């Protein structure tokens, strides 16, 4: 069998070669990668070659085969079917063979596979991609590249909310969780150049608002896949920085409407900012509810850390006012927005500490207090919560 499999596959044309290759790979991996009778070469090398030649079409023996659009769609459909039918224990091992360390350069095919899995609600593929995101780190360049392409396809290409995205957490909650983590990193809401698209913010606020378990999914997997990140730090950054950035955008829009001809553009920006702020209000409440839920199901601390909050506090001092003349009203609005940002930071810290869903660090709390006292406007609530945190950390003695 080992001597014949490659020769047989090379004699077959597409799609038969791919169908047989997928069947062989599934059978081989499902049997825990046994030795192949009659195979003198390195077994792993042959398995990788079969995958590259007949699934990914990245040939090492000559120019790669160019599939037509119809053939590529057929290929993606066969891969989805493979994951639906493969034994549960084998699914991610097959996925890792296709898109793991051996297969650099297959990102474009992976993006298309995810798009097909989203549109057909193929949960096995989305789950495997979610684990891939988690193992590679949802903040890595590979994962953020995939996220950017999906946002472009489902949030920017069409103005209306995507029906495919609307039910995503119900299809694959882990994929939704890790996608949010990556999206909040790529679109950090740190300024006008890193705004999340409005439709993305609408989807995320709906997901977290409708299902408080979404933010916990990667933490649930931590017992199996030790590497994990959660969406909570990124969502906290959105909720805290968002009002301040939006106030600056609004000030810029108003300053550009000095003539009647520019008024419509200013109105459009005001409408967009109002929509962003409404989503952020909804998201902030949903985030607090998610923290409370995490405590109810006895998840260990790990959704948020004092280091995450200290970093977000630092970024508030770095969000600079937009250039140009600003009226007294604009400065007042920005001051009010900064007050909202600090209130939200305090509320999230208070709820996270009260529900034991965050990892405390006395040094980071002291760092936050110093920034709050010396670099940010006075905010009574934030200073009070930070004082409580310092007192609690002073009285805490670890068990012997």
- Phi first, then psi, for residue 319 (nearest 5°) are -75, 100
User: Over the stretch 63-78, which tens digit does the pLDDT of each residue have?
Assistant: 777 899 999 999 999 9
Residues 208, 176: Cα–Cα separation, whole Å = 10
CA separation for the pair 24, 21 (Å, rounded): 5
3-state secondary structure 303-372: CEEHHHHHHHHHHHHHCCCCCCCCCHHHHHHHHHHHHHHHHHHHHHHHHHHHCCCEECCHHHHHHHHHHH
125 Cβ contact list (under 8 Å, min separation 6): 79, 80, 83, 95, 113, 114, 116, 117
The set of residues, in sequence order, having a beta carbon less than 8 Å from that of 120 and lying 6+ positions away, is 80
Cα distances (angstroms) measured from residue 398 to each of 40, 393, 394, 395: 58, 10, 11, 10
User: Which of 82-91, 109-118, 294-303, 368-377 has the lowest average pLDDT?
Assistant: 294-303
User: How many Cβ atoms sit within 10 Å of the Cβ of residue 274?
Assistant: 12
Name the token pair of 389. 């945190």
Q: What pLDDT was estimated at residue 370?
A: 95
pLDDT digits (tens, 9 = 90+) for 133-178: 988 887 788 898 999 999 999 998 876 778 889 989 999 999 999 9
What is the predicted pLDDT for the residue at 260? 39
pLDDT at residue 324, rounded to an integer? 53
The mean pLDDT value of the chain amounts to 85
287 pLDDT higher than 90: yes
Separation CA 294–CA 292 (nearest Å): 5
When mean pLDDT is compared over 37-51, 259-273, 308-322, the highest value belongs to: 308-322
Predicted local confidence at residue 226, as pLDDT:
63
pLDDT at 223: 64
Residue, of 303 and 302, whose pLDDT is higher: 303
| Range in 38-47, 175-184, 285-294, 377-386 with the lowest mean pLDDT | 38-47
Residue 259 has pLDDT above 60, yes or no: no
231 pLDDT tier (thresholds 50, 70, 90): very high
Concatenated DSSP letters of 261-281: GGHHHHHHHHHHHHHHHHHHH
State the virtual CA torsion across 390, 392, 395, 400 in degrees, nearest 10: -120
- pTM of the predicted model as reported, rounded to 2 decimal places: 0.90
Judged against a pLDDT cut of 60, whether residue 267 lies above it is answered with no
CA pair distance 312, 305, nearest whole angstrom = 11
- Cβ atoms of 172 and 126 within 8 Å: the answer is yes
Lowest mean pLDDT among 168-172, 300-304, 336-340, 393-397: 393-397
If pLDDT is split at 50, 70 and 90, which confidence band does 2 have? very low
Quick one: which of 139, 222, 218 has its CA closest to 183? 139
Q: Which of 112-126, 237-251, 328-342 has the lowest mean pLDDT?
A: 328-342
Lowest mean pLDDT across 202-216, 242-256, 276-290, 374-388: 242-256
């Amino acid at each position: 069998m080992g001597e014949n499999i490659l020769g047989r596959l090379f004699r077959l044309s597409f799609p038969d070669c791919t169908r047989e290759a997928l069947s062989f790979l599934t059978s081989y991996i499902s049997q825990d990668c046994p030795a192949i009778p009659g195979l003198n070469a390195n077994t792993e090398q042959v398995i990788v070659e079969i995958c590259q030649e007949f699934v990914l079409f990245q040939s090492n023996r000559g120019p790669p085969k160019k599939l037509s659009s119809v053939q590529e769609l057929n290929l993606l459909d066969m891969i989805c079917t493979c994951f639906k039918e493969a034994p549960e224990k084998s699914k991610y091992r097959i996925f890792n063979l296709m898109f793991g360390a051996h297969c650099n350069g297959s990102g474009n095919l992976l993006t298309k596979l995810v798009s097909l899995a989203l549109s057909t609600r193929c949960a096995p593929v989305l789950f495997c991609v979610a684990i891939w995101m988690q193992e590679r780190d949802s903040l890595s360049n590979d994962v953020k590249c995939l996220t950017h392409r999906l946002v472009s396809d489902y949030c920017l290409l069409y103005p209306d909310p995507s029906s495919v995205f609307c039910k995503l957490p119900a299809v694959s909650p882990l994929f939704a969780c890790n996608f949010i983590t990556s999206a909040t990193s790529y679109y950090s809401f740190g300024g006008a150049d890193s705004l999340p698209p409005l439709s993305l913010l609408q989807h995320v606020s709906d997901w977290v608002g409708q299902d408080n378990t979404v933010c916990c999914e990667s933490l649930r997997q931590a017992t199996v896949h030790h590497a994990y990140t959660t969406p909570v730090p990124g969502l906290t950054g959105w909720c805290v920085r968002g009002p301040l950035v939006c106030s600056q955008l609004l000030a810029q829009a108003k300053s550009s409407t000095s003539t009647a001809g520019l008024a419509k553009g200013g109105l459009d920006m005001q409408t967009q900012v109002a929509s962003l702020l409404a989503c952020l209000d909804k998201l902030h409440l949903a985030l607090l509810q998610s923290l409370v839920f995490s405590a109810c199901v006895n998840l260990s601390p790990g959704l948020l850390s004092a280091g995450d909050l200290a970093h977000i506090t630092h970024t508030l001092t770095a969000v600079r006012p937009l250039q140009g003349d600003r009226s007294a009203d604009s400065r007042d609005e920005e001051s009010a927005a900064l007050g909202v940002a600090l209130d939200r930071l305090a509320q999230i810290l208070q709820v996270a500490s009260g529900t034991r869903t965050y990892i405390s660090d006395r040094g980071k709390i002291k760092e936050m207090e110093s920034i709050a006292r010396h670099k940010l406007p006075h905010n009574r609530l934030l200073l009070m919560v930070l004082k409580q945190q310092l007192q609690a950390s002073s009285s805490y003695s670890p068990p012997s």
